[in-house]
Amino acid sequence: MSLRKRGRGTRAKSARGEEWDELHDEAARERRRARPSEQIDALRHLFDDPALAGVDLAAAAVVISVTSARCRVFHDGRELDCIVPPEIAARQKSALAVGDRVLFDDALRISAILPRRSVLSRPDPLNPHLQRLIAANIDVVANVVSTKSPPLRPRLIDRFLIAIQRGGAAPLIVVNKIDLDRDLTPLRVYEELGVPVIGCSTKSGEGLDALRAAVSGKTSALVGHSGVGKSSILNALDERLQIATGDLHRRGTGRHTTTSSTLHDLGGGTLIVDTPGIRELGLWDLTPRTLRESFPEFDEAAELCRFNDCTHLHEPACEAKQRVERGELSRARYDTYVRLMEDLSCEKR
């Protein structure tokens, strides 16, 4: 397996939350292959760290935000600023993420990152062989969408569902702004796949109880396109939070209101991470096999395709394609699948 050459001038840069869309646009012109699990392997020593032997893991702190050399943690009922030592900072954000459980020493230096039970990750837009974590140890990842303003982007939903599923968290789709549009039929396809869909409005208050019930006592992350109302939802769930939210009309060139991820404690064991909005989500460590596993609705059709290794792209007598034509399978989902398969085969070349 050979890595494709990096783009000119990309080496020294590193992506911070707010620049990712721009960097992604720049990097998308070149297809590069994501090298599997290199970073996770590099971190494995931390998981087997002898320093963890005999440590009271319940005493670990929780990372609530991360900046280049420091992070803020909750520990024993207090918020503390900790130093992120260079060996962790060198792999910043892939090494340490919001939601991580960490140990720190008397000088408030992070000494170990505990094993993660789930991650939500994406490839670095400039160095796709680097895995960047959006958050760690999340139970539920809620993909917040709106159907009207901003418009629904099914392909982004499909990509989030793949990333969520691969990272080990449970997916949830939250359709905000139902005061503007009550039609949830475009989301029915996801319900049929077993993903819960909750409609809500931070303006009218509808659906907030259902959302509260879905996240209660868990650690969740709100992810999705900029302007769908992720921060507004957090404010609506807990009015003490007062997180800055953005006016769609004043944001002009699509600047994001939230620029870095932060974990908020809503009490009663409910923790929610607010994340910066994104336009594109690259997929970490995707292979044709894992891609096919991400579209289980094609499995039944695949039994009836002429070729038993049918990719449902160009083969004749493909039952999946015929079901899409007949409206029995979602065309939007099929289109996402084709795009991702084509991306993978470009990367292989």
Ligand X SMILES: Nc1nc2c(ncn2[C@@H]2O[C@H](COP(=O)(O)OP(=O)(O)OP(=O)(O)O)[C@@H](O)[C@H]2O)c(=O)[nH]1
Contacts with ligand X by CB under 6 A: the residue count is 23
Instruction: Please identify, among the stretches 74-82, 121-129, 243-251, 280-288, the one whose residues bind ligand X according to the rule CB under 6 A.
Output: 243-251
**Which residue is it, tokens 């769908």?**
228
Nearer to Zn ion, 195 or 305 (CB): 305
* Site for ligand X, residues 196 to 235, rule: CB under 6 A: 201-203, 226-232
What residues make contact with Zn ion under the rule CB under 5 A? Answer: 305, 310, 312, 318, 320
Question: Could you give the CA distance from residue 109 to residue 120 in angstroms, rounded to a whole number?
Answer: 25
List of residues 6+ apart from 338 with CB closer than 8 A: 313
Partner whose binding site includes residue 312, from Zn ion, Mg ion, ligand X, none (CB under 5 to 8 Å by kind) = Zn ion
For residue 143, the tally of other CB atoms under 10 A from its CB is: 28
Binding of ligand X by 176 (CB under 6 A): yes
Residue nearer to Zn ion on the CB measure, 76 or 309: 309
Nearer to ligand X, 128 or 154 (CB): 154
Cβ distance to ligand X smaller for residue 39 or 226: 226
Q: How far is the CB of 221 from Mg ion (least distance, A)?
A: 12
Nearer to Mg ion, 154 or 276 (CB): 276
Candidates 167, 145, 141; CA nearest to 154 is 145
What does the binding site for Mg ion look like in residue numbers (CB under 5 A)? 230-231, 257-258
CA triple 253-255-256, angle to 5 deg? 155
Contacts with ligand X, 127-166, as mask; x by CB under 6 A: ----------------------------------------
Cβ 188 to Mg ion shortest distance, Å: 27
Token pair 């609530």 is found at 64
Helix (H, G, I), strand (E, B) or coil at 42: helix
CB under 5 to 8 A by kind: which of Mg ion, Zn ion, ligand X, none does 226 bind? ligand X
Please give the span between the terminal C-alpha atoms of the chain, in angstroms, as a whole number: 11
**164 phi/psi in degrees, rounded to 5:** -65, -50
d(CA 305, CA 321): 9
Please report whether residue 256 would count as binding ligand X according to CB under 6 A. yes
Strand ranges, E, within the chain: 61-66, 70-75, 78-83, 101-104, 110-113, 119-123, 131-136, 140-145, 170-175, 197-199, 219-223, 262-265, 271-274
CA–CA gap between residue 127 and residue 6 (Å, rounded): 7
C-beta closer to Zn ion: residue 160 or 295 = 295
Where on the chain is the footprint of ligand X (CB under 6 A)? 176-177, 179-180, 201-203, 226-232, 245-248, 256-258, 276-277
